[in-house]
């Protein structure tokens, strides 16, 4: 049985299973009928200064693997159609560079300003973490559909390293800075 988190909720992934190493971070959403939105998931692998150790530690649709081969984006889903996860990120926790202290999971709407798209055009958005070896969903954080009508991008959650342990924090922080705004923030 998975743990359901609320905004700001934390969960120690290592406490549940000290051997947890390979995870899938799935992001999913549905379209409110009559809408089409291209949502893009990204991962910022940041160090203790709150910045990327190098540009290649930004994993997204144009850079599908981290330089340490610990993070892999499985590709861009431009429609959000179908059941289950719309975009997936695979992580091999023990391979993550020692320089990296946090993984920040972001979803941004492609061309949101030009197309006037926003998160209010989506429903049932979530982030979840699955143990790849057992296929067991460990945690899930469902976004509240009603609070994001003016938001074009979202920090869904963070994985924070504390020694050898990894803690997930359900962020749910919406903004209008776009993907480039996140790049500027962490580069």
pLDDT at 94: 95
* Three-state SS at 113: helix
DSSP one-letter code for 29: E
pLDDT tens by residue, 47-63: 999 999 999 999 999 99
The better pLDDT of the pair 94, 147 is held by 94
DSSP string spanning 152-185?
Answer: SEEEEEEEEEETTEEEEEEEEEEESSHHHHHHHH
- Domain spans of the chain? 3-186
The better pLDDT of the pair 167, 80 is held by 167
What is the C-alpha separation between 122 and 12, in angstroms, rounded?
Answer: 29
Yes or no: is domain 3-186 CATH 2.60.60.30? yes
What is the C-alpha separation between 153 and 114, in angstroms, rounded?
Answer: 14
Residue 30 confidence class, pLDDT cut points 50, 70, 90: confident
pLDDT at 162: 93
Give me the percent of the chain exceeding a pLDDT of 90.
66
pLDDT tens by residue, 72-112: 999 766 555 556 788 999 999 999 999 999 999 999 988 87
pLDDT at 59: 97
Report residue 187 as tokens. 């580069």
- The tally of CA atoms less than 13 A away on the side-chain side of residue 83 is 0
């Amino acid at each position: 049985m998975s743990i359901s988190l609320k905004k700001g909720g934390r969960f120690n992934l290592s406490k549940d299973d000290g051997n947890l190493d390979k995870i899938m971070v799935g992001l999913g959403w549905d379209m409110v009928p009559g809408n089409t939105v291209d949502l893009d998931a990204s991962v910022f692998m940041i160090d203790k200064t709150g910045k990327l150790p190098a540009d290649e530690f930004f994993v997204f649709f144009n850079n599908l693997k981290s330089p340490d081969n610990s993070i892999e984006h499985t590709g861009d889903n431009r429609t959000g159609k179908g059941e289950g996860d719309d975009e997936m990120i695979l992580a091999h926790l023990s391979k993550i560079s020692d320089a990296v202290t946090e993984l920040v999971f972001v979803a941004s709407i492609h061309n949101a300003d030009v197309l006037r798209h926003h998160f209010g055009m989506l429903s049932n958005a979530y982030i979840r973490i699955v143990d790849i070896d057992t296929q067991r969903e460990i945690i899930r954080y469902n976004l509240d559909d009603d609070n994001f009508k003016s938001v074009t991008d979202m920090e869904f959650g963070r994985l924070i390293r504390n020694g050898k342990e990894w803690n997930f924090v359900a962020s749910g922080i919406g903004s209008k800075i776009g993907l480039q705004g996140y790049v500027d923030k962490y580069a």
